[in-house]
Amino acid sequence: MRAFSFNLSDFVFVWWGLLYEALPFLALGALLSGIVERCVSRETVARFFPRNRWLGIGASALLGLLFPMCECGVVPVVRRLLLKGVPVSCGIAYLLASPIINPLVIASTVLAFRNTGGWAVAGLRVAGGFVVAVLVSVAVWRLLGEKNVLRNSTDNQSENNHGHRGGVVRDILSIAAGDFMLIGATLVVGGAIAALINSGFSRAAMEPFANNPLTAVSGMMGLAVALNLCSEADAFVAASFYAFPLAAKLAFLVLGPMLDVKLMLMYSTVFKPRAIMVISGSVALLVFVFGVTGYAWIPVLLGSGGQ
């Protein structure tokens, strides 16, 4: 039996199914990002960061519940917050966690895994994202401090450059349309790759790879980095990898919103190279440990086969 066999009709069916479920969440996420970017001042967001550093890091990781942003939209927002004096460690916690810990992503994860314990999967994703974001923020704070993280910047522009363009609604729609087109293109490509794998490779062919924690988790992490999916839509792609246990899928779902090709490029506009190395290395290591150990504890926690 051949491991790979391409069937166009199966490919189109799986690809369209992914896009059909994911695009509404992507559109809503882009609209919310536009509203937050246009209507909420940076000072308003900054007031939600507690003065106590430890409490501030933990609270910052949960700030996406109030100010939901996708991973693409949050980078320029965090950059402006840091320029206004928000502690770097708090900014990093918000940067890493908000694309996971926000109502829209939670809802999309529940829907994507609705047939396999959606709320439990969403809870594990939120917990994993919170722990990784907090630990990485503390690592950056303790290893690099506050003054050796950010790139030198002379950008002292007004925090809101949208007020003189064409009105609030027009600005919101303009920002949302730009985000939707940019991120939607990556979703189309990522969905196509997922559809190709799922329609071309039989489950039997993938089982040896999927059942080995080291290869499955590292493979799904590699896909997360390469596919550059939006966190509002990536759960539908992850759920489509039926042969892989939940632990490997969670590694995909936690890593992708924190570290992928496009984010590495965006991080370079905010952080110094050494800080990027600490952030990316810490994120990858923690997610790998989370995923590999999850093969043991997730089935026990959920009382199932961990699928």
pLDDT in tens, 170-196: 888 888 888 788 767 777 877 787 777
Q: Alpha carbon of 115 to those of 40, 87, 110: distances in Å? A: 37, 41, 9
Amino acid 221 reads M
Strands (E), the chain: none
Dihedral sign, CA of 61, 65, 71, 73?
Answer: negative
Query: Does the residue 213 lie in any domain?
Result: yes
Q: How many residues does the chain have?
A: 307
Is residue 150 situated within a structural domain? Answer: yes
> pTM of the predicted model, to two decimals?
0.76
Identify the pLDDT of residue 269. 78
Three-state DSSP at 99 gives coil
Is 203 domain-assigned? yes
The 10 Å Cβ neighbour count of residue 64 is 28
pLDDT for residue 291: 95
Q: Which residues make Cβ contacts (< 8 Å) with residue 226, sequence separation at least 6?
A: 260, 261
* Domain assignment of residue 52, yes or no: yes
What is the C-alpha separation between 141 and 134, in angstroms, rounded?
11
Cα–Cα distance between 257 and 251 in angstroms, integer? Answer: 11
What spatial distance separates the first Cα and last Cα of the chain, rounded to whole Å? 26
Would you call 201 helix, strand, or coil by DSSP? strand
At 170, list the tokens.
């027009």
- Both tokens of 11, joined, read 């490919």
- Tell me the two tokens of residue 269: 């506009």
Nearest to 39 by CA among 178, 155, 157, 167: 167
CA-CA-CA-CA torsion sign (122, 128, 131, 134):
negative
CA distance 279 to 117: 31
| Domain span holding position 236 | 8-302
**Is the Cα dihedral 62, 23, 259, 256 positive or negative?**
positive
Total domains in the fold of the chain: 1
pLDDT of residue 306: 55
Evaluate whether residue 1 is within a structural domain. Answer: no
The whole-number pLDDT of residue 103 equals: 92
Give the chain's residues under pLDDT 70.
1-6, 33, 42, 45-46, 48, 72, 84, 153-166, 183, 198, 200-207, 228, 304-307
